[in-house]
Structure 1
Amino acid sequence: MLKEFKEFAMKGNLVDIAVAFVMGAAFNKVVTSFTAGIVSPLIGMIFNSDFNDLKYVITPGTANEAGEVTGEIAVLYGAFLTSLIDFIIVAFVMFMIIKGINRMKKKEEPAPAAPAGPTQEELLIQIRDLLKK
């Protein structure tokens, strides 16, 4: 069973998927920092607030002595929009990478057509000629 697992784990496709997964996770961190550090502040200028702090308060909370709000129920749509922007950026970059890879692949030449055999009429003519002999 261990031998079978080793053969399965060392197949080319599985190793390629593992490498792609690790690279994708690292790329996601880059995109997240890009969104948080560049995109969100620019969009935040439009709303005059930090983009990640945008929320719709359903039930306001109470502030304690430290100034922290407790008991607040809110929809954090700013964080959702930031994640959505991250996803769109990652999806677009992956689309461009796959498109580039597909373009670089050798285009498969169509297989040569099988030589056309004799038609039914030609076979009948050959049979007739053989019967005449």
Structure 2
Amino acid sequence: MGIISEFKEFAVKGNAVDMAVGIIIGAAFGSIVNSLVNDIIMPPIGMLTGGINFADMFIALDGEAYASLAEAQAVSAPTINYGLFINAVISFIIVAFAVFMLVRQINALKRQPAPLDPTTKECPYCKETIAIGAIKCKHCTADLK
């Protein structure tokens, strides 16, 4: 029973729950980014490059010519799908940039405020701490003018 209770303790700890929520949100964010790339970004890029559909950019390794990737996959032809790889790289860049911006904002929130002006100083003679505006040390009675 020790392992089960240990696992329960681990599973309900804040870090494990936070990590699970992060993974779920990350997966949902990944699907949004994939849709953004495939449905919003790539069609205009394809139009600008003469109507090229990046999803249909592939090399058939069997030497045959296929009109589309779907046609090649329907006959189980071996293919190198470099168009899908381009889409994946663009998706990765978008996700990496979004994560960078998120971490940048979190770090900005964590930054420590600028230190306040000092209110004390050290006596040059006895090295005791005294008020910043003191003209005479209360410990060694030295003049600090």
For residues 6 and 72 of structure 1, do their structure 2 counterparts lie closer, same or farther at Cα, with a shift above 3 Å needed? closer
Partner of 2:26: 24
- Higher helix fraction (1 or 2): 1
Partner of 2:42: 40
Residue 58 to residue 2, structure 1, CA distance change in 2 (3 Å):
closer
Name the counterpart of 2:119: none
- The aligned residue for residue 54 of structure 2 is 51
Q: Deviations over 1:74-108 (max 9, x none)?
A: 31100011011111101110110011011112527
5+ long unaligned stretches in structure 2: 116-126, 129-145
TM value normalised by structure 2:
0.64
Q: Secondary structure at the match of 1:72?
A: coil
RMSD: 2.5
The answer as to whether partners of 1:55 and 1:76 remain within 8 angstroms in 2 is: yes
Q: What amino acid sits opposite 2:82 in the alignment? A: Y
1:61 alignment partner, SS class? coil
Identity of aligned residues (%): 40
Alignment of 1:96 onto 2:101: yes
Separation in 2 of the partners of 1:79 and 1:5? 41
- Match in the other structure for 1:105: 110
Please give the secondary structure, in 2, of the residue aligned with 1:59: coil
Aligned to 2:133: none
Which secondary structure state, in structure 1, belongs to the residue aligned with residue 112 of structure 2?
coil
CA distance in 2: counterparts of 1:35 and 1:86, whole angstroms: 6
In the alignment of these two chains, the number of paired residues is 108
With the length of structure 1 as denominator, give the TM-score of the two structures.
0.70
Alignment check: 8 A CA contact 1:44 1:50 kept: yes
Unaligned segments of structure 1, at least 5 residues: 117-133
Question: Quick one: higher RCO (CA 8 Å, sep 6+), 1 or 2?
Answer: 1
